[in-house]
Structure 1
């Protein structure tokens, strides 16, 4: 049996490049590459050994090549001191990496029609997912959006990987003017989609999930919660998720996710602890009578 436990590696930088408006770094990390499954992420130490930036930064994996020395590519936009430091890395620099972390996207057992929906560089983990789905004989359709054309990630790759690729921008500079949810419904109908896979900001995930529910198809959502440790210790990335037993739990995105069934995420309560969540003040044990439609499992 393969070992899927995460590893910590000192990984040399192979290339640093720009992908659209984003920075992309490829590292040689065979231990991570051979264990990786679509939807998992890596956590990287930033600032160097003498840095006061103690917390790692979590990044979605954009591409993996286990057959070429074991390389892993991740994308990011410069948002603060940690990502600014990463943007200055050059070939042969060493990065301290832990991965792969988190639970991956569940893949269908049989070939089905899959629509992949992403926003900005949050679309990054959808590309290795598309490859995995294609290997299983699934149809793949992309719907990718961003605020403007320079922030739409991987248009050429999406066209190459998918049966169809639809693009939206809020300013109308590329593709359809609007948001991904403005185009998604028609794509689902035209492609006869069986499942939605999505990654992006929480408001987008909420709207995509609502569309999936409206079309009566499941949604697998990869959440973009800020993670301080990436290993389940600090509890900074919790989100309220309804379990199969009907009980809401505060689950950790980094180890219980980052992929969840979209229909089970309580989007209205993200950032809070709902009063009826397990362990919340005032919570009381429920009985079977409280959940007449309880799911099995």
Structure 2
């Protein structure tokens, strides 16, 4: 059995490409590719050895291959100094890589009909999952979305990997006009789906989870929550999640996630510590000592 513990290695940039609105980087990262399971992520150091940018940047994995010593492909958009530095790297440059990190997608034991829903570059995480589900003879139906045509990631790959593909853009420039989660109910009914896998921003995942609950099918959601360390130390990415014991726990997205069962996340309480969560601060009554 392959060791699944994460490693920290110097990754060598193999290729850097611009596809639509996003950068695609392929790294040679020995040890990471063979340990990776769909849904996990990697954390990259940015800025170089003398940089004041201390925090890593975390990215979903688009593809792993054993070629060239083990390659890992990530997709990202340039949003700040860290990702701008990464976008400026060239082949043979070195970047420190830690991974694979996080909890992967649970996989079915027998063939089930799956809907795979992704928004923008978060869709990248669906493709290694699709490859494994295909090996298990699962029918696959993709739903991809983005603000516009340039922001939809992976439509061509989805057509190769899936039994069907539907696209929605907010500006109506590609596929249906609107949000991709608006297509979910009809996709579930049309495909007679038995499970939904989703990679998207929190608001989309909230909608996906509620739709799946209405149909009585599980939603496995990979949460896009900002992560400052990626290893569970800083506690910056906590979410209120109902555990197997029925109690609400404040869990770390980077360690206990990023994959969760959609119905277990308390979406309406994200960004807060619910009063009934384990360890939550308790309001003192008048005259009561702390």
TM-score range, shorter-chain basis?
A: over 0.9
**Aligned partners of 1:46, 1:167: CA distance in 2, in Å?**
33
1:101 aligns with 2:91: no
- Residue 55 of structure 1: aligned partner: 55
How far is the alpha carbon of 1:35 from its aligned partner?
Answer: 0.2
Residue in structure 2 matched with residue 119 of structure 1 by the alignment: 119
| TM-score where L is the length of structure 2 | 0.96
CA shift digits 1:63-115 (9 cap, x unpaired): 11124421000010000000000000000000100000001000000000010
Does 2:264 correspond to 1:269? no
User: Whole-Å Cα distance in 1 between the matches of residues 254 and 201 of structure 2?
Assistant: 16
- Aligned residue runs from structure 1 range 207-286, under 5 A: 207-282=207-282
Which residue of structure 2 lines up, in the alignment, with residue 287 of structure 1?
none
Judge conservation of contact 1:62–1:74 (CA < 8 Å) in 2. Answer: yes
1:22/1:77 contact within 8 Å kept: yes
Give runs of aligned pairs for residues 161-200 of structure 1, distance below 5 A.
161-200=161-200
Runs (4+) of structure 1 exceeding 6 A deviation are: none
Helix, strand or coil at the partner of 2:51: coil
Q: Residues 168 and 177 of structure 1 are in contact (CA less than 8 Å); yes or no, is this contact kept in structure 2?
A: yes
Question: 1:130-141 to 2 correspondence within 5 Å?
Answer: 130-141=130-141
Alpha carbons 2:113, 2:139 under 8 Å: kept: yes
The CA distance in 2 between the partners of 1:183 and 1:224, in whole Å, is 20
Please give the alpha-carbon distance, in whole angstroms, between the structure 2 residues aligned to 1:124 and 1:180.
15
Shift of 1:30: 2.5
Unaligned runs of 5+ in 2: 284-290
Match of 1:70 in 2: 70
C-alpha separation between the residues in 2 aligned to 1:167 and 1:72? 26
Residue 288 (structure 2) aligns with: none
Contact 1:20–1:154 (CA<8 Å) still a contact in 2?
Answer: no
C-alpha distance after superposition, 1:237-283 (max 9, x if no partner): 10000012210000000110100000000111111111110000129
Q: How big is the shift at 1:147?
A: 0.9
Counterparts of 1:167 and 1:215 in 2: how far apart (Å)?
A: 22
Contact 1:30 1:66 (C-alpha < 8 Å) held by counterparts = no
Unaligned runs of 5+ in 1: 284-297
What are the residue-to-residue correspondences of 1:3-18 with 2, within 5 Å? Answer: 3-18=3-18
Q: Residue 82 of structure 1 corresponds to which residue in structure 2?
A: 82
Partner of residue 24, structure 1:
24
Which digits, 9 at most, give the CA deviation of each residue in 1:167-217, with x for residues without a partner?
000111000111112111111111110000001100000001111011110
* Partner Cα separation in structure 2 for residue 32 and residue 278 of structure 1: 35
Aligned counterparts of 1:66 and 1:60: Cα–Cα separation in 2? 18
TM-superposed CA distance for 1:20, in Å, is 1.9
**Counterpart-to-counterpart distance in 2, 1:116 and 1:178:** 18
Contact 2:40/2:100 (<8 A) preserved? yes
Tell me if the contact between 1:116 and 1:196 (Cα under 8 Å) persists in the aligned partners: yes
Paired positions, count: 283
Instruction: Specify the alignment match of 1:38 in structure 2.
Output: 38
Shift of 1:122: 1.0
Please tell me whether the aligned partners of residues 240 and 251 of structure 1 are also in contact (alpha carbons under 8 angstroms): yes
